[in-house]
A and B are shown apart, each in its own frame.
Chain A
Amino acid sequence: MTALTKAEMAERLFTDVGLNKREAKEFVDAFFDVVREALERGEQVKLSGFGNFDLRKKNQRPGRNPKTGEEIPISARRVVTFRPGQKLKLKVESYAGSRQ
């Protein structure tokens, strides 16, 4: 099955919301830019009905180069996690298609 992409989202903004094609494309780009910039500033993003993008701090931990077996520490980092909201979870739960 094909994936939903920014191009498809823009197409739907053109047909459903009535933005012109250029506005629709710019809007979708801006949408993900604004979310990304908030996360970059260390801000959690809460989209009610959909889910929350949270930031988590990971401490340094030991790692290994899988090719050479050499031990190298994995540095402390900040990562994004997504917690789906109740509404989205319920919508998705009953999907009966392929098990992945």
Chain B
Amino acid sequence: MTKSELIEALASRQNHLAFNDVELAVRNVLDQASQALAHGERIEIRGFGSFSLHFRPPRMGRNPKTGTPVALPGKHVPHFKPGKELRERVNGIPADKP
């Protein structure tokens, strides 16, 4: 499923919304998520999962062409941890409803 297919699926499900609003809303949600992570903020979506940052410490790398060592600074990378319900459903176990 691509972003445009997601937009189409949401537009048919939320058919009281204008297609254009669905497009804007999808973009808005993804922007909010990116912005949050860019500021080091976690994202917690119950039943779906959480996003956080993991730190990769500085290391010595190599220029693959010349083989010269290069110092690479530490950096943060986005990390996703699937929630229990998503894990179970994807694995074919029906999620127990409260």
Q: Which residues does A use to contact B, with CB under 8 Å?
A: 1-6, 8-9, 12-13, 16-19, 23, 26-28, 30-32, 34-36, 38-40, 43-51, 53, 55, 77-82, 84, 87-89, 91-95, 97-100
Contact = CB atoms under 8 A, between A and B. Distances in A.
A29 to B, nearest CB: 10
B60 interface: no
Contacts of A2: 41
A39 B32 contact: no
Contacts, number: 158
Interface of B: 1-3, 6, 9-10, 13-14, 16-17, 21-22, 24-26, 28-30, 32-34, 36-55, 74-80, 82, 85-87, 89-92
A3 B1 contact: no
B25 A27 contact: yes
A3 B24 CA distance: 23
Residue with the highest number of chain A CB atoms closer than 10 Å, among B29, B38, B40, B52: B29
A93 B89 contact: no
